[in-house]
Structure 1
Amino acid sequence: MQRSLPPLNALKAFEAAAQCLSFTQAATRLCVTQSAVSRQVKLLEEQLGVALFDRSGGQLRLTAAGQRLLPVLRQSFDRIAWTVGGLGDQQALSRLKINVPPTFASRWLVPRLGRLNALHPSLELSITTRFEDDLLDRNELDGAIRFGAGEWPDIDAELLLQETHVAVCAPHLLEGRRGREVDLTRHTLLHVLRDDDRFHTWEHWLQAAGIDGVETGRGLAFDVLELAIQAAINGVGVTVADRHMIGRELMRGDLVQLLDVEVTGHQSYWLVTRHEQQESTNMALFRRWLRQEVSDPPSDFSEQA
């Protein structure tokens, strides 16, 4: 069967320009001139007989035809790159590459990997913990676990865990006090940073607990939840943490809960893949295993009080 396809360079130029929404940035990515990208895109539009970009108003926007073409083209290029990359290394074809948030990786995923290996010994994982996974811009990742509201363009997202916030500290900080006997104004509050600000988990928890008079602007702040949890374990102060991340510490008594108050977080952990990406056997195995671990966690990883 003979295929009637546009030139490869024109398709590559369109994909880069569509992802960047800029001919200049696309040219930098492809190591060519801006005029070359513009010319290739124009050639593609002429061959297809439709406009792929709306160039009005000084901004580059995809038309309906461009929005239809981009995900198919991205998927095709990804599959080619994945297959070609594995031709010289058969191990690469069986290796699943996943990016995971640092705290989720260290506290939830890594402790369970022995169970995954026992069930699927042929499944090999490469795990990275970059804050930005660049799933749409880089083809080496098969998928990622993201923390957020689950709304990302051109991404298929499956909910894994909804955050449940509890206030915790090391047992000795309580000095025998329990519940509302604990004066939070006497303890250091531990926060988690969000870009230049911080997550407002303390404000939400205090409101749910009905506690007033606590200055939430004070205390220590960390860029990852893992550090806030470690600080709490070591008696530095009190933090509000996701129960899923501290289940073992609560069971062992390394951390204790201040009050029987839980607050559902505004963000969650999601398994994400590219939209319309053909799912590999390994990704399907990994997805099913994640679902099982979430729905029926082993007793030694209990996330209940």
Structure 2
Amino acid sequence: MKRRMPTLNALKAFEVAGSTGNFTRAAERLHVTQSAVSRQVRLLEAQLGEPLLLRQHHHLQLTPAGKLLLQALQQSFDRIEFTVRRIQDQQHLHRLRLNVPPTFARRWLQPRLGSLRQAHPQLDLSLTTRLHDDLLESTRLDVAIRFGDGEWEGLTASHLLTEQHIAVCSPALATAHQRDGIPALDDMPLLHVLAGEDRRYLTWTHWLDAAGLSGIDLQAGHEFDVLDLAIQAAVDGLGVTLADRHMVAPQLADGTLVQVLDTRLEGHQSYWLVQRREASGSPALAAFCHWLQAEQAEPHRQQVEPDFFE
């Protein structure tokens, strides 16, 4: 049956113009002239009998019909690109492209890759930690681990770990700042993790409330944009940080970090394994997901609960 469809050139020109909001940028991406992009969009609008883009000063605004068509085209082009890549990658059936938050990659996943190699010796990972990688937008990715509430539109999410915040520092710092055998947090530098350029996470406030402590200066102390750096700063003796106990388990076990007080605060967000809904047929992905779920469900045998200073 012959399909009654607009030309692919017209659909692609509109998809890029609608995504960028600008004919000039769309022309640069498509390697054609601005007038060519504009002409293709006008032809598409004429064929549909509906305006798709409102031409404003230096900006294109989508009409309701334009929004509807753009969403359908983006999903369709993404699926086509994903399918094409899977066909092209048939010779790399055992390679999995994975995006992971930096701290999770460094502190939880990387130390366990030996276990993955033992379980699946043919499986190779391409691991990235760029925060802007988006599983829906990047067809170069097969799967991702995300930190949040488990709700990502168009994706399926399986729970891995819920944050459990504990205060940790180096043994030397804990010993040097004690009062009557108890760590004197009011005399110890605190380390903070930034939620944005000018704001910190409120984890210290919530943890101190849970510990029943007051009079602690929360304004001073070094700030870091990722938890991994704050953990390393604590290892280096620069202060006390709040860290997810899953991320510092090896350091607690080998004594390079000690837990300060017996207070554990469960976070509001978790780590999730996130997949495309249509990507479940990959043998490499299935093997990795099975290993990952088993690994988080059964901690390493050598991992022990550490002593804490109180």
TM-score computed with the length of structure 1 as normaliser: 0.83
* Corresponding residue of 1:67: 71
After superposition, give the CA deviation of every residue in 1:245-294 in whole Å (9 maximum; x if it has no partner).
01111122222211221112233222223454464221122122211111
Quote the offset at 1:4 in angstroms. Answer: 6.0
Structure 2 unaligned spans of 5+: none
- Structure 2 vs 1, CA of residues 51 and 95 (structure 1 numbering), >3 Å: closer, same or farther? farther
Asked if residue 145 in structure 1 is aligned to residue 145 in structure 2, the reply is yes
Cα distance per residue 1:81-117 (max 9 Å; x no partner): 3423x37xx23x4311111122111111111111111
Q: Which moved more, 1:187-196 or 1:263-272?
A: 263-272
Where 2:302 maps in the other structure, the secondary structure is helix
Question: Could you tell which deviates more after superposition, 272-281 or 154-163?
Answer: 272-281
Listed as ranges, the gaps of 5+ residues in structure 1 are: none
In structure 2, what is the Cα distance between the partners aligned to 1:40 and 1:303?
Answer: 65
Are the aligned partners of 1:52 and 1:63 in contact in 2 as well (CA < 8 Å)? no
Is 1:83 paired with 2:87?
Answer: yes
Q: CA deviation at 1:166?
A: 0.6
Is the contact between residue 248 and residue 303 of structure 1 (CA under 8 Å) also seen in structure 2? no
**How do 1:1-305 and structure 2 match up within 5 A?**
6-17=6-17, 19-20=19-20, 23-44=23-44, 49=48, 53=52, 55=54, 59-60=61-62, 63-64=67-68, 66-84=70-88, 86=89, 90-91=91-92, 93-175=93-175, 177=178, 181-196=182-197, 197-274=199-276, 276-277=278-279, 279-301=281-303
Amino acid at match of 2:132: E
Number of residue pairs aligned between Structure 1 and Structure 2: 300
Distance in 1 (CA, whole Å) between partners of 2:305 and 2:281 is: 30
Identity %: 50
Distance 1:263 1:254, change over 3 A: same
Provide the alpha-carbon RMSD of the alignment.
3.2
Per the alignment, do residues 19 and 295 of structure 1 end up closer, same or farther by CA in structure 2, a change over 3 Å counting? farther
Q: 1:192 to 1:73 in 2, by over 3 A?
A: same
Superposed CA offset, 1:206-229 (max 9, x none): 121121111111101122211211
Aligned amino acid, residue 128 of structure 2: T
- How many Å separate the matches in 1 of 2:34 and 2:168? 55
Contact 2:142 2:279 in 1 (8 A): no
Which SS does the other structure have where 1:156 is aligned?
Answer: strand
Summarize the Cα distance change of 1:303–1:45 in structure 2 as closer, same or farther, 3 Å threshold. Answer: farther
